[in-house]
């Protein structure tokens, strides 16, 4: 029997869309595949999973207990804060926008000139807020997608966001990152232990991640 059986878990997945006007938005290339695979694996081991999923066309397995669909970073923030207090494990795999338009137009913006300027403001830092509110009995796992100084940036994120573990993806690795069925990860924990994995399917990567979480924090 898995040590994760009955554990209340929160998983975030997918992108967020930040509205510019009623038909346009700022988004990213995240599909949600990785986060959904993690939620599925946790559910397979008997965990009670709540999946907060941004805009994604990926089908979600029926085995995942509860799904909250959101669109914007604000919606994901509100949902995560509401759910987190009752959880023992959080895996934050969503690719949340760092910025959003300061003003959202009520009507479609018409093409009037050769250029347009849109003022952006920071979105709420969901993971940092959750990290600050993390209790002694809660485990928090984040993700980092980097293009340079990968290990250094990931280690800084662990400290800044009060994480127990971070999953590092590098866009320099062929076949890893957004819009692939494969991924190559490095796990770093708060004690600075580094574990590198080979390129695998995202389903296999999810198993590696959950195995590491279970053996280190729940066994």
Residue 108 placed within a domain: no
Range of the domain at 53: 8-103+114-217
Residue 197 placed within a domain: yes
b/e for 153-162, b at 16 or more Cβ within 10 A? ebbebbeebb
Mean pLDDT over 10-38 rounds to 96
Q: In 10 A of CB 21, how many CB atoms? A: 16
Encode pLDDT of 115-169 as tens digits.
Answer: 999 999 999 999 999 999 999 999 999 999 877 888 899 999 999 999 999 999 8
Encode pLDDT of 51-90 as tens digits.
Answer: 999 999 999 999 998 999 999 999 999 999 999 999 999 9
Name which of 36, 80, 79 is nearest 56 in CA terms.
36
Number of domains forming the structure of the chain: 1
Predicted model pTM = 0.94
Annotated catalytic sites, by residue? 28
Residue 72 placed within a domain: yes
DSSP 15: B
**Largest alpha-carbon pair distance within the chain?**
64
Residue 122 placed within a domain: yes
Residue 3 placed within a domain: no
Residue 144 placed within a domain: yes
Question: Any idea what the CATH number is for the domain that residue 89 is in?
Answer: 3.40.50.10300
Q: In 10 A of CB 109, how many CB atoms? A: 13
pLDDT of residue 219: 86
Residue 64 placed within a domain: yes
What pLDDT band is residue 178 in, cutting at 50, 70 and 90? Answer: low
């Amino acid at each position: 029997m898995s040590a994760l059986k009955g554990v209340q878990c929160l998983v975030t997945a997918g992108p967020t869309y930040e509205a510019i006007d009623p038909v346009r938005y700022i988004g990213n290339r995240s599909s949600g595949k990785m986060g959904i695979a993690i939620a599925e694996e946790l559910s397979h081991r008997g965990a009670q999973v709540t999946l907060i999923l941004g805009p994604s066309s990926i089908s979600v397995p029926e085995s995942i207990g509860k799904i909250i669909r959101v669109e914007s970073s604000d919606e994901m923030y509100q949902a995560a804060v509401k759910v987190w207090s009752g959880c023992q494990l959080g895996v934050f795999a969503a690719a949340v926008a760092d910025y959003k338009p300061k003003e959202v137009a009520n009507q479609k913006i018409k093409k009037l000139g050769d250029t347009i300027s849109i003022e952006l403001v920071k979105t709420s830092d969901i993971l940092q807020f959750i990290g600050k509110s993390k209790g002694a009995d809660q485990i928090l796992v984040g993700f980092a997608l980097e293009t340079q100084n990968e290990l250094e940036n990931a280690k800084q994120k662990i400290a800044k966001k009060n994480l127990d573990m971070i999953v590092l993806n590098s866009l320099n690795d062929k076949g890893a990152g957004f819009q692939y069925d494969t991924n190559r990860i490095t796990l770093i924990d708060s004690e600075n232990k580094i574990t590198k994995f080979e390129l695998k399917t995202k389903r296999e990567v999810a198993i590696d991640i959950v195995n590491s979480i279970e053996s280190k924090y729940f066994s």
